[in-house]
Amino acid sequence: MPATDQTVSGVPGRYASALFELATEEKSVDLTGTQLATFQAAIDESDDLRRLVRSPVFAANDQIAAIDAICERLAIAGTARNFIRLAARNRRLAALSEMIAGYRGLVAAARGEVTASVTSADALSEAQVSDLKAALKASTGRDVSLATRVDASILGGLVVKMGSRMIDSSLKTKLDNLKIAMKGTG
């Protein structure tokens, strides 16, 4: 499968495509994906790491040193670690999450899967992930690869993005819609 999938574009897309091609050559697609998912989970769980990755205030050398320490602690090595270091050296860490999502999309497309991004207020259990995958497979007719993310600000429910489709059943959106409706009836 060529790495020119339309789910990724711009700088994150170019990085994701290059990483996918390299991982394919090295036969490390799954390992690289697993390690990138581990790093993304660390970003999602740590305000400090999120600040380090997104803030342009930190010098590239400081970011690389911190990335090395974090990768060491998370047992991230090889292609995935080199990729994260490259993003830091090139001052592209702010786009790292998009690069990782793009890589996941390319892997899924190569396997004939559809990638869905799921945001929930709390971490989903294995049973919930399995049920969600089954429901999405029934709706699309294809296997679904899930990228889960926790965002307490949605209060409850789920936001599911799959390609250009988005299903927002979050409590926050429902409350916002209710507020708008109440303002309109005044």
Q: What integer best gives the mean pLDDT of the chain?
A: 89
Global pTM? 0.70
Q: How confident is the model at residue 44 (pLDDT cuts 50, 70, 90)?
A: confident
How much of the chain exceeds pLDDT 70, in percent? 95
- At 148, which helix (H) or strand (E)? strand 144-150
Residue 88 structure tokens: 């830091």
Out of 1.20.210.10, 1.10.3720.10, 3.40.630.30, 1.10.520.20, the CATH code matching 10-107 is 1.10.520.20
- Residues 107, 145: contact at Cβ < 8 Å? yes
Residues 140-154: tens digit of each pLDDT: 888 888 888 888 899
158 compared with 1, residue with greater pLDDT: 158
Residue 3 has pLDDT above 70, yes or no: no
Separation of alpha carbons 16 and 23, rounded Å: 10
* Contact (CB, 8 A) for 158 and 118: yes
pLDDT (0 to 100) of residue 162: 87
Q: Which residue, chain included where needed, has tokens 């945001």? A: 119
Q: Which two tokens stand for residue 112?
A: 């004939």
Outline which parts of the chain fall under CATH 1.10.520.20.
10-107
Q: For residue 1, is pLDDT > 60?
A: no
